[in-house]
Structure 1
Amino acid sequence: MAASGAQELPLEGGNICSQQDPGTAMSTRARFMELPDDVLYAVLQKCDIKTLCRLCQVCCKLNILIQSDSVWLPYRNLSTVIGSSAVPASTYSLHNRPINSPCVKEQLRLSHNWVEKKYHEKVLCRLNPRQLPWMQYTGGTIWFSVSNTIRCYRIQSDGRIREDKKQHLTLQDPKQHGRQQRRRRANFSAENNKHPNLINKDVSRFVVKDNVTISGCRDGSLYVFDCDSGRCLESIQISVTRDRTVKILAMSHDDSDNNPVRATIDMKDRIWSVAMATNGQSFTVGTSGCKGSPSLSVWDAERAERIFSLGSYRYGAGVLDMKYEDNNTLLTCGYDATLRMWDMRSGRCVEEWQEPYDTTLYCVQTDRNVTMVTGTARYGMIRLWDKRKSEPVQEYFLSQKSPVYSVAFDCSRMYAALDMSINTLDFSVLPT
């Protein structure tokens, strides 16, 4: 016989349980909530996502406990969690999360929106006339090039951007830089002014790091800015010119009469991309692959000697963009519609992903963890990739059907530079 106040009910498995009265149920729940927090955490870590979402509505204490990162970390490793292209993945950890970075639970919600294509598209800035813009996202600031200007936009808390005109960097005529700078550029730019119709001041690529901006123009000239004052800084960089050579420059205010060109490397082919390793000891050059030279080669920055070539590309499989994740990992993409990951220690391709539509990949960006994003040459299409999967995770078609020249992203938004606009995809939308 069951105790008074309770009724024995059969369950599906044939077992017998007692249906307690409301007072007894409240007492049982109270005893459960009296358990130590570490025991409650152990119980919560065994629950599935639906159960956790329901437990959030039971009481304030459970709601607070379930917001902890330790409860959601097991699901984070199984999902395509989107990081930030501006912050190294090593900074994402349970005890060392970047400032303003969402909790793991929120990261999983945002990643679900990425996978399910739940977003709002907005046009942040319109460009006129058509441009070949380059963009860099530094975590709170977006820099992108328009003609001879590198513009700076601050990202507000609601995702909108605000132009910071004080941070705009405009490439001036070399004559306006003074006699000292004019002497330093004379030997370097003379051989590159053979094309009278060339727009010399058009920015092709630039890099922003540690409050320093280094920009390269279409004529091969190089400008180095302090983001606050705009003055030239001492540096050693790689410059690519239209004469199929790579020049290693030593830019310094000392010895202004000396030739800044330390070394010149003849690639014998049109150069599409170049990237410096994170340690600054080597760099990689990507060419069009049409003149018999390798499409991808690694060079020593100090001795200007080729270390080795990467892979055996077919004819015309030029490399348009590349990104170093660290000293040992390089991502490349280009005309052969293939995204590759290279191990720089062995010089081998350790993984490759084929674009399903067989379209040229103009750019690649990574969060230095498992997420990669590529911009394609057609239909304003962007691909989301997971390194652990052979097929793309998702595809996004922008409202403007233009090649995607540059991309950047964080966990809640993705930015794309097109020929007539800068667009954003906002994945922070709440469920309806």
Structure 2
Amino acid sequence: VPFPSPRPRAWRATMLLFQLPDDVFYHILSYLDCRSLSRLSQVCKSFYRFVNRDAVWRKIAKEGLNTGITRDGTDRYPHIPLKERVKIAQNWCDGICKKAVPLKWKTKLLPWLQLDGDGEILFLSQAANIEAYYLRQDPGKLQSNPFKIYSANNGDVCHFVLTDSHLISGRSDGKILIHSRTSDMLVELSGHNQEVNCLDSKDGLIISGSRDRTVRIWTLTSSCPKETISMYDRVWSVAISPTLSSFVTGTACCNNFSPLRIWDVERLQCVCCLGSEFRRGAGVLDMVFESPFQLLSCGYDTFIRLWDLRLSPRKCVMEWEEPHDSTLYCIQTDGNHLIASGSSYYGVVRLWDKRQTECLQFFQLSSDSVSSPVYCLRFNSSHLYAALATSLHSLDFRQNPIYIR
């Protein structure tokens, strides 16, 4: 009887790996990059099942762009496997996407848009109406017709926000309309005498800002403003802190006052001004709280600024300049490393990695002969949508990188 040959070394190594406790195996895999993990998953079915677990990819996902893992560890897209999100994150970083124009219209508008919490419904303002579309699985496409239209006889929509139960819009005639998302109920709030350029709402609290140089505080249960704050300039943007204890106003900066101010919700007093070296006309057009202590702002002075509200005095800790000296109309963040911005010329969308000072990627959405600002942009895990004067554009980042399968 011939002497049995020894077991192949690779086979014995595989068996020994699987004899390790899961936490030890996870620790070993934490040293591998995307390419190595992908190759390891092709060794056998057991490796494939283990490597595809979210826990294996979580460390890589936290370092990626728009993977849904925020700085505090919150997962925005728990229904999507992390490996799939890491694939798409590489495309965001490399600028690999497919462009499409899901909607066009003839009249030039100032559209605004929002995505619902799960990123499956897109809300787009069209003159006096707000249309709701289901997002299809086909790249960059919407359902052919809106499944719901929130209409009114009031002025055109300047800005609107979504809550879980309501859609709240500011109008060009100075009114605020509150539509229920579950019924046909409509509430009209009157108080401003010029267009409502901006508003924000959280937990029943509504803050609105207007061209009439006032900020008004409302609640969902009252038809009259709770309080009114007189400002020195037109108000272009407002944002409520996640803690609901304060809000920030951004003005046109035409009267040599700082355009960014923090206000206490209860006392209605200005807590502080952010920055002191803004030039005249450096109005703030958009801002977003990334956490209770971090605020991002952008506007006419072509900079995106990150403000740390924990410092004393509160100050700008990072800034990114638009390379072509264009006004920045809108920004959005993934809560971690990615910022997307919309510029005033040629429909330029830029992607920024906050760990770098230079622009990461840019996309020109309008032609050289027809220039339009990006009035609003929003993104989910795989798509970015941008609203221009006569069209809605989409960027689909679901193309497969060659080294992640």
> TM tier, shorter chain?
0.7 to 0.9
Deviation of residue 27 (structure 1)?
4.8
- Superposed, 1:251-330 pairs within 5 Å as 252=221, 260-312=224-276, 313-330=278-295
Of residues 163, 169, 172 in structure 1, which corresponds to 2:153?
A: 172
Q: Is the 8 A contact 2:61 2:67 kept in 1?
A: no
Aligned twin of 2:163: 209
Residues 291 and 428 of structure 1: CA distance in aligned 2, closer, same or farther (over 3 Å) = same
- Superposed, 1:81-160 pairs within 5 Å as 81-83=65-67, 90=72, 92-93=74-75, 98-103=77-82, 105-138=83-116, 139-159=119-139, 160=141
In 1, Cα distance between equivalents of 2:38 and 2:226? 62
What do the CA deviations read for 1:92-143 (whole angstroms, capped 9, x no partner)?
Answer: 45xxx6343232x222221111122211011111122111111111221111
In 1, Cα distance between equivalents of 2:36 and 2:335? 32
| Aligned partner letter, 2:53 | S
| Aligned partner letter, 1:283 | F
In 2, Cα distance between equivalents of 1:29 and 1:71? 20
Of residues 247, 272, 280 in structure 1, which corresponds to 2:216?
A: 247
| Aligned partner letter, 1:362 | Y
Aligned twin of 2:382: 412
Q: Is the 8 A contact 1:267 1:293 kept in 2?
A: no
Bigger mean CA offset, 314-323 vs 230-239: 230-239
Aligned twin of 2:30: 45
In 2, Cα distance between equivalents of 1:91 and 1:316? 38
Q: Is the 8 A contact 1:119 1:426 kept in 2?
A: yes
Deviation of residue 343 (structure 1)?
2.2
- Superposed, 1:7-26 pairs within 5 Å as 24-25=8-9
In 2, Cα distance between equivalents of 1:227 and 1:353? 37
Bigger mean CA offset, 301-310 vs 105-114: 301-310
- Superposed, 1:219-234 pairs within 5 Å as 219-232=173-186
Q: Is the 8 A contact 1:89 1:367 kept in 2?
A: no
In 2, Cα distance between equivalents of 1:80 and 1:67? 17
In 2, Cα distance between equivalents of 1:27 and 1:293? 72
Deviation of residue 310 (structure 1)?
1.0
Q: Is the 8 A contact 1:92 1:98 kept in 2?
A: no
TM-align CA RMSD: 2.8
| Aligned partner letter, 1:61 | S
- Superposed, 1:170-209 pairs within 5 Å as 170-173=151-154, 201-209=155-163
Residues 239 and 34 of structure 1: CA distance in aligned 2, closer, same or farther (over 3 Å) = closer
TM-score, length basis structure 1? 0.78
SS at match of 1:272: strand
Residues 281 and 55 of structure 1: CA distance in aligned 2, closer, same or farther (over 3 Å) = closer
Residues 284 and 43 of structure 1: CA distance in aligned 2, closer, same or farther (over 3 Å) = closer
Residues 65 and 171 of structure 1: CA distance in aligned 2, closer, same or farther (over 3 Å) = same
In 2, Cα distance between equivalents of 1:290 and 1:24? 77
Aligned twin of 1:10: none
Aligned twin of 1:195: none
Aligned twin of 2:41: 56
Bigger mean CA offset, 34-43 vs 125-134: 34-43
SS at match of 1:315: coil
Q: Is the 8 A contact 2:65 2:92 kept in 1?
A: no
In 1, Cα distance between equivalents of 2:11 and 2:396? 45
In 2, Cα distance between equivalents of 1:101 and 1:246? 40
| Aligned partner letter, 1:152 | A
Residues 165 and 71 of structure 1: CA distance in aligned 2, closer, same or farther (over 3 Å) = closer
Q: Is the 8 A contact 1:285 1:298 kept in 2?
A: yes
Aligned twin of 1:179: none
Identical positions, percent? 36
Deviation of residue 68 (structure 1)?
2.0
SS at match of 2:19: coil
In 1, Cα distance between equivalents of 2:179 and 2:102? 25
Whether 1:237 and 2:183 are equivalent positions in the alignment is no
TM-score, length basis structure 2? 0.83
What do the CA deviations read for 1:257-290 (whole angstroms, capped 9, x no partner)?
Answer: xxx1333322122221122222333221111111
Aligned length: 375
> Which runs of 5 or more structure 2 residues have no equivalent in the other structure?
190-203
Deviation of residue 25 (structure 1)?
4.9
What do the CA deviations read for 1:339-376 (whole angstroms, capped 9, x no partner)?
Answer: 11112344322221122222111101112222211111
In 2, Cα distance between equivalents of 1:64 and 1:205? 46
Aligned twin of 1:429: 399
What do the CA deviations read for 1:318-343 (whole angstroms, capped 9, x no partner)?
Answer: 10111122322211000111111112
Higher alpha-carbon Rg: 1
